Amino acid sequence: MAGVASKGKTYLIIGGTSKAGTSSVFSYLAAHPEICPSFIKQTNYFLEESYVHVRQKSLFKYGEEPYHSFFRDCSSQATIFLEASPDYLYSESALERIKESIRPPDKCIIIFILRSPVTRFVSWYNFGKQIRAIDESVSLEKYFEKNIDLLDKPEKEEAFYATLKTGIYSNYLGPFYDRFSSDQVKTFFFENLKANPAGFMKKLGRELGIDDSFYDSYAFGIANKTVKVDNEKIDNAYRLVRSRLFDFLHKNKFLYKISALPRKLGSGLYRKINTSNLQTSKPPENILLQLEKFYDGEKERIAEFVNKPVPW
């Protein structure tokens, strides 16, 4: 494939991990005048066609349709193209495609946001219940046991039960740190984001060379928060309509642009009438201990890659 010319701009890719605040960081960055975000946060453009973990394939096909199709109506101030596809961390094919495609290579920055694999495991379980990928009858203990049973099996067999495996971040960070320079790969932590969003974003802004004072008065919210779906039939209908509407609108820039407000209002209305705060109980202590044991040593392995304190 021919290289993707930077046109003087830098490509900033949030490459992972899932359930670690990537949607929030994308929205915070997207609001900055020096950033041009992809019109859909999770492009998945560089993932191979056979990749099984994502529910939404790329809208534009790698090698056939240009990556630039995702970046529309950029302001004259914008110096950075931004996208966020958290599954890139787990795909060596995506790594190679990014490496081969973006030219010049130093115009690409990949950031990873990691989260304690223990709390991420619990968060994935709750999220799976929300989207009904995990049956309501499956307890956290049973979810853990099934993850253990599938550790040595191909992930294609049970993609949603690879949460335990994909929490061993050091297995996946290595190739990125090997193939890209230290200036191109940056790792941050969800715990720091949660504790101090403004401090997190100001530090990230300084590392990216954008005006970090933008975040002094920024109103921070939470994007893609796990919630409880109140009525499954309404949820199924909403998702079907949204998916078909998006398929119809996304390749027409004018229609997509003028539909932005109605889509935003529709999403807000749906959340208001059919979702509520998710009430979760404290995970059983024995499961937390087993998770801690499983990930023993992972914190130290990550610290070797990132050369900074790991906050969990």
The pLDDT assigned to 57 comes to 63
pTM of the full structure: 0.84
The pLDDT assigned to 154 comes to 64
Characterize 175-210 residue by residue with b for buried, 16 or more Cβ atoms within 10 angstroms of its Cβ, and e for exposed.
Answer: ebeeebeeebbbbbbbbbbeeebeebbbebbeebeb
The pLDDT assigned to 68 comes to 83
The pLDDT assigned to 198 comes to 97
With 80 as the cut, is the pLDDT of residue 183 above it? yes
Q: Write the CATH number of the domain with boundaries 4-117+167-224+296-306.
A: 3.40.50.300
How far is residue 200 from each of residues 188, 194, 226, 244, measured CA to CA in Å? Answer: 9, 9, 22, 37
CB-CB contact of 67 with 101 (8 Å) = yes
In sequence order, what are the residues at sequence separation of 6 or more whose Cβ sits closer than 8 angstroms to the Cβ of residue 51?
Answer: 44, 87, 91, 93
Summarize the confidence of residues 280-309 as an average pLDDT: 92
And the tokens for 63? Answer: 């090698």
Residue 4, strand partner residues: 102
Taking the C-alpha atoms of residue 194 and residue 185, their distance in angstroms, rounded to an integer, is 21
With 90 as the cut, is the pLDDT of residue 32 above it? yes
- Longest distance between any two alpha carbons in the chain, whole Å: 55
- What's at 274, amino acid-wise? N
**281: which DSSP letter?**
P
With 70 as the cut, is the pLDDT of residue 249 above it? no
Among 53-62, 91-100, 247-256, name the most confident range: 91-100
Taking the C-alpha atoms of residue 38 and residue 23, their distance in angstroms, rounded to an integer, is 12
Question: Which phi-psi region, left, alpha or beta, contains residue 229 (left: φ > 0; alpha: ψ -120 to 50)?
Answer: beta
The pLDDT assigned to 143 comes to 94
What average pLDDT is seen over the chain? 85
With 80 as the cut, is the pLDDT of residue 208 above it? yes
**224: which DSSP letter?**
S
Is the model more confident about 270 or about 89? 89
Taking the C-alpha atoms of residue 161 and residue 124, their distance in angstroms, rounded to an integer, is 10
